[in-house]
Amino acid sequence: MLKRLFSTLLLFSFLSACASSTPPTPAPTPQAAATPKATQPKRDWWRTAVFYEIFVRSFYDTDGNGIGDFNGVAAKLDYLQELGVTAIWLMPIHPSPSYHGYDVLNYYAVNPQYGSMEDFKNLLAEAHKRDMRIIIDLVINHTSSQHPWFRDADTNLDSAYRNFYVWADSPGAGSWHQGQNGYYYGFFWSGMPDLNYTNPAVTDAMYKINDYWLNEIGVDGFRIDAVKHLIEQDGKLENTSLTHEWLREYYKTYKAANPSAYTIGEVYGAGSSVVKQYTGTELDHIFNFEMAAGIMGSVNGGANSGITSAVKFAQMDTPDYNYATFLTNHDQNRVMSVFNGDVDKAKVASFLMLTLPGTPYIYYGEEIGMQGRKPDEDIRLPMQWNADKFAGFSNVEPWRALPADYTQVNVAAQTGDPASLLEHYRTLIQLRKSHPTLQTADITLLDAGNSGIFATLRADSNGTYIVLANLTGEAVTDYQLDLGDAELAESIVGVGMLFGEGQAQVLEGSGGAFNPYQPFESLNPYAMAIIKLNP
């Protein structure tokens, strides 16, 4: 009952806030002053970025209503900069009748619970001062059923917006819903009617919305929600040829207007073969779900098969490694909950992500080990800043109750503690940023002769590194790294420790032929190491 009342109040407040600001025509272009851009040293800045995903509602509340806001994100930019973050993805910021925002009421406004457009522009300016970029969720597959476009289309057969949506006289198989004048298609649920991209007017409207946020407001790009579902075709519900055609035109349009703009698509479950289909001429990045599952599965199971398979597929399908990596996101149980509270496993998982190719995305709170299992509200809980009442998130009861562990699991408790998960993330991110080889270099899988060990070689003109992890909770002595396919320099003068405990053994061999290498006599449980080879 409380949930229903809360949702009703949200809907009423949002409709009231948006009624006067919703564009009356399909393709309005409001005027607004753009914020200063972050320094753009090259167009493909995202290849070396470290992203941080934020649910604004749950990050930091500055106005005392129990809901996070734009000013709260701005207040924590120094924390993010110290963590090593260079780019931020904000989950939906548009007005919406729901707490999550994935059903948009007005594409030209911001959620009034998060603050004003001026507050958002101030956040952009503050981020850009720090050379940090901000992308926002752009939900273009569907709108809210309360969006003025749909309300007019539903009630008026002659509406200019009628063909903005997909209609039928009778329900077909799948996600059809009863409207006031026929049935409409909404893949996710009745409250999210799909937009009709076979109608050029919808494309024109979306292009203008895209241009407004990129070039008038000044965001640095978009995360495109549910992109594989844009256009259903001949009974096929995802990854259709019409969707790919639409995205190719979209890519050309936004790149022509702003070559430094960045888009990343959510293609849920995508492996490297699907990533390849979308990147290059359609979107800049796709999330590599196959890689995420490989990391999480291998760490949880203590065997390298999952991550090894994911890397091999990436080498075959996307040898430029032009994709985004992550562990879990806002639609999945949190990392620490998947690992049942095991901090060692969380450290190894983040170590793998931050030493593999691809652009890493960190979900807020992941770096301190916040837990959360579905329902979705509980994997999007308020950020745990300290052990004070309400976890330092707010001075009033948050929109969603905090977990009991916040008094132990929080930013303040972990800051400065070298054994903490937070400092582990900080160290690895700084290493990644200061050693370009760990960002973009090629990767060679090294056979360790033990399924509990995952080892790779990262090498380019900037350096050569062996990355090694014990995926198990047991000490391992029975392993040796096969360097036969490593294509090392003819001689190695020595080795140095970039990360990890102890000093690695000298690599023996010459003339490009090296003996099987056991850098440590014993690898401790969940041991991790980055070894620099010095030619």
What is the value of pTM for the model shown?
0.92
Q: What is the dihedral of CA 128, 133, 135, 136, to 10 degrees?
A: -40
Q: What are 233's two structure tokens?
A: 């075709």
Q: What is the pLDDT, as a whole number, of residue 36?
A: 53
**How far apart are alpha carbons 334 and 348 in whole angstroms?**
15
Encode pLDDT of 198-253 as tens digits. Answer: 999 999 999 999 999 999 999 999 999 999 999 999 889 999 999 999 999 999 99
Supply φ then ψ for residue 270, to 5 degrees.
-65, 135
Residue 442 in this model has a pLDDT that exceeds 70: yes
Give catalytic residue positions.
225, 266
- Tokens in use for 446? 């090294």
What's the average model confidence in pLDDT over 358-381? 97
Question: What average pLDDT does the segment 364-371 reach?
Answer: 98
Question: pLDDT for 393-403, tens place per residue?
Answer: 999 999 999 99
Q: What pLDDT was estimated at residue 488? A: 74
The strand ranges marked E within 333-440 are 359-363
Q: Is the Cβ–Cβ distance between 440 and 48 less than 8 Å?
A: yes
Average pLDDT, the chain: 90
Maximum CA extent, the chain: 80
- pLDDT category at 516 given cuts 50, 70, 90 is confident
Mean pLDDT, rounded, for 482-507 = 81
Distance CA 460, CA 482 (A): 19
- The yes-or-no verdict on residue 29 having pLDDT over 50 is no
Element (H or E) spanning 72, and its range?
helix 70-75
193: left (phi over 0), alpha (psi -120 to 50) or beta: beta
Token pair for 498: 């970039």
Quick one: how far is CA 518 from the chain centroid? Answer: 36
Cα torsion 118, 122, 124, 130 to 10°: value is: 180
Average pLDDT score over residue span 363-391: 97
User: Where does residue 157 rank: exposed (0-12), middle (13-18), buried (19+ CB within 10 A)?
Assistant: exposed
> SS3 breakdown of the chain: % helix, strand, coil, rounded to 5?
35, 15, 50
Confidence (pLDDT) at 3 = 36
